[in-house]
Amino acid sequence: MSFARHSDAVHVRAPGKINVHLGVGARHEDGYHSLATVFQAVSLYEDVYATASDGFSISVVGDVDVSEVPLDDRNLALRAARLLAQTADVDQGVHLDIRKGVPVAGGMGGGSADAAAALVACDALWGTELGSRRLHELAARLGADVPFALHGGTAIGTGRGDVLTPALARGRFDWVLVLSEQGLSTPEIYGRLDRMRMRGRALADDATELLEVPPAVLQALRAGDPAELAPVMMNDLEPAAVADRPDLELALADGVRMGALTGIVSGSGPTIAFLCAGPEAARAVQEELRATGRQALHVHGAVPGAQLMG
């Protein structure tokens, strides 16, 4: 991807995320579940380059396997561009060139980051100047995780995960991600959790009013202390994500044995996020995991949300 090719493009970068805490409540009629979650944006990015065009089109390349990314209207970035054009009464089109760094179907919100980046890029390209509140509204219509990809940093998500409150997080948290070749479908994992709960194999927190982020999680983030955060991290989707995936159970155990403070499935998986004591500890865990043939990346959080790069 040469600079010349993109010299006339608007470039926006948006981060992937980890759910430091993911509490899942009841399923509602629209198919969505109530959530109490804490997102942290990490230094793994989607780069979106938007150029003026007559129609709406998309191309995708990546550091990760992009063969499963749809290039038609199922693509969330393309839907984001069309939604913005409709809302702001724009009669121009756009070509979106996406370079993916976040694993596809990995539970790290890569598609949501593309959509957030596309909103910001098209807003700049077309001069629609919708403002952050309107962009946030459009983001929430596109998907539950899209507002957070706009927002970035560390934030509490309630409702479907789209109602955000910034969370104070001091310092830097070092994560080692273990990527999986075989992705997982988010709706399928939520559906499996519902079935497991019905059979009584996972506890249901049906009283959604009581669904809240434990104060200990927020305190550990405020303290900027990974050793305090590690024992209180939790993901309700984890039992559903690791069912039928012994490779994930094994990776979780291996990372901790190799020195990570703890490991957690990211969102609906299958990416695993290991929290480490600091950059050096993370590099050591990453090396050991790589030595077992796994694809392991060292990232840190929190980083900003979708940003105009030029």
Active site residue 100: no
Stretch 118-157 residues interacting with ligand C5P (CB under 6 A): 143-145
Contact with ligand C5P (CB under 6 A) among 14, 35, 90, 213: 35
Min dist. Cβ of residue 278 to ligand C5P (A): 32
Binding of ligand C5P by 33 (CB under 6 A)? yes
Longest dimension (CA), the chain: 58
The yes or no reply on residue 213 touching ligand C5P (CB under 6 A) is no
Rounded distance, CA 221 to CA 215, Å? 10
To 5 degrees, how large is the angle CA 232–CA 237–CA 240?
A: 130
Measured from the CB atom, the residue of 29 and 181 that comes closer to ligand C5P is: 29
**Nearer to ligand C5P (CB atom), residue 5 or residue 74:** 74
Nearer to ligand C5P by C-beta: 39 or 173?
Answer: 39
Among 190, 202, 213, 229, binds ligand C5P (CB under 6 A): 190
The residue type of 203 is L
How far apart are CB 258 and ligand C5P at their closest, in Å? 32
Stretch that binds ligand C5P, among 13-21, 168-176, 182-190, 290-298 (CB under 6 A): 182-190
Least separation in angstroms between residue 34's CB and ligand C5P is 7
Nearer to ligand C5P, 101 or 161 (CB): 161
Count the site residues for ligand C5P by CB under 6 A: 12
Residue selected from 21, 160, 294, 300 as contacting ligand C5P according to rule CB under 6 A: 160
Q: Which residues contact 244 (CB under 8 A, 6 or more apart)?
A: none
Angstrom distance (rounded) from CA 44 to CA 58? 21
Nearer to ligand C5P, 143 or 152 (CB): 143
| CB 270 to ligand C5P: min, Å | 15
DSSP line for 138-191: HHHHH-TTHHHHHHBSEEEEETTTTEEEE----S-EEEEEEE-SS---HHHHHH
Query: Residue 47: helix, strand or coil by DSSP?
Result: strand
Shortest CB 211 distance to ligand C5P, Å: 11
How far, in Å, CA of 130 to CA of 127, rounded?
Answer: 9
Pick the closer one to ligand C5P by CB: 152 or 226: 152
CB of residue 199 to ligand C5P, shortest distance in Å: 18
Residues sharing a CB contact under 8 Å with residue 81, sequence separation 6 or more, in sequence order: 50, 56, 94, 96, 118, 119, 122
Which one of 47, 114, 123, 145 is the catalytic residue? 145
Per CB under 6 A, 31 contacts ligand C5P: yes
Does residue number 192 form part of the binding site for ligand C5P (CB under 6 A)? no
Active-site option among 17, 100, 236, 254: 17
Candidate ranges 80-88, 165-173, 184-192, 201-209; the one touching ligand C5P (CB under 6 A): 184-192
Helix ranges (DSSP H) in the chain: 76-87, 110-126, 132-142, 146-151, 186-198, 215-223, 226-229, 238-242, 246-257, 279-291
Asked whether the beta carbons of 13 and 41 are under 8 A apart, the reply is no
Between the alpha carbon of residue 166 and those of residues 132, 200, 304, the distances in Å are 15, 34, 12
Other Cβ atoms within 10 Å of 14 Cβ, number: 33
Which residues are annotated as catalytic?
17, 145
Binding residues for ligand C5P, rule: CB under 6 A, are 31-33, 35, 143-145, 160-161, 186-187, 190
